[in-house]
Amino acid sequence: MLAFRMKIDVLTIFPEFFREVFDFGIIRRAKLAEIVEINIHDLREFAEGIHRKTDDRPFGGGDGMVFKCEPIFSAIEKVIGTCERENYPPLTRVVLLSPQGRVFKQSVAKEFADEASHIILICGRYEGVDERVNDALVTDEISIGDYVLSGGEPAAIVLTDAIVRLLPNALGSETSAENDSFSNGLLDYPHYTQPRDFRGRQVPDVLLSGNHAEIERWRSEKALEKTERFRKDLLQKEK
Ligand code: SAH
């Protein structure tokens, strides 16, 4: 039997959210090729009592609700086999999606693709998650950007997509991550396809020239131009 290269377990109170989201394109293909296995877990199933409560009011007062510890600890125990962080098997990462975490970037996606074989993504809701989850279970607190979502689910999708496409053999021959934006510190160069003339807008001549050296030069130039215009910060970081 072929071993999966990467396993991703998502913990959420809205499993339906993920019903089809991983069933398209590269992610779907990677699942079929057994490069990745993705499991969605309903946190409610790990909650106790007849009401299966996953959240409760915050100690100290204030608005909203907070995710309780118990269901998350039980879910982690089930998917990893332990909720003692020091006993996690090697290459296991327990990620809390949170606006307060390390900001997710291509380099972080690469780090996970290269250095993890089991990723657990905890999706919060409401005011967030009881801090003891962070203290005891989480290896990485990750934010997808400086804005607040109503739940961690969209963030879990973003991480899964960006990480899985970097796994060996996940991209078919028709795509490559090499020139993708951020992989080499630059944005990607502009792409064109048929027709050559679309409502009077022409494809740049150089791309039709067949001169590969010229084309390479043009593409580097354009990538640099675009980066300078929109993301100067990327160039400054290079130094
Ligand atoms: N009160 C919290 C925000 C809670 S938002 C705070 O100010 O920090 C509810 C949930 O959405 C969070 O628990 C988290 O799982 C998710 N979330 C919100 N913004 C996010 C972001 N930028 N990146 C990743 N997850 C986010």
Q: What span, in angstroms and rounded, lies between the C-alpha atoms of 95 and 210?
A: 47
The pLDDT, as a whole number, for residue 1 is 46
The pLDDT, as a whole number, for residue 239 is 47
Ligand 1 close to Cβ of residue 158 (< 6 A): no
The pLDDT, as a whole number, for residue 181 is 87
Closest residue by Cα to atom 23, ligand 1, is 143
Q: Helix, strand, or coil here: 151?
A: strand
Ligand 1 close to Cβ of residue 33 (< 6 A): no
The pLDDT, as a whole number, for residue 175 is 64
The pLDDT, as a whole number, for residue 179 is 74
Ligand 1 close to Cβ of residue 121 (< 6 A): no
Q: What span, in angstroms and rounded, lies between the C-alpha atoms of 146 and 23?
A: 28
From the first residue on, what is the mean pLDDT of each consecutive set of 10 residues in the chain (239 residues)? 82 98 97 97 96 97 97 98 98 98 97 98 98 98 98 98 96 73 92 98 98 98 97 81
State the pairing for strand pair 118-122/6-12: parallel
The number of angstroms, rounded, from the C-alpha of 90 to the middle of its chain's C-alpha atoms is 20
CA of 98 to the centre of ligand 1 (A): 4
If one residue of 54, 98, 133, 144 were mutated to test the ligand 1 pocket, choosing by the most ligand atoms within 8 A of its CB, it would be 98
Reported pTM: 0.94
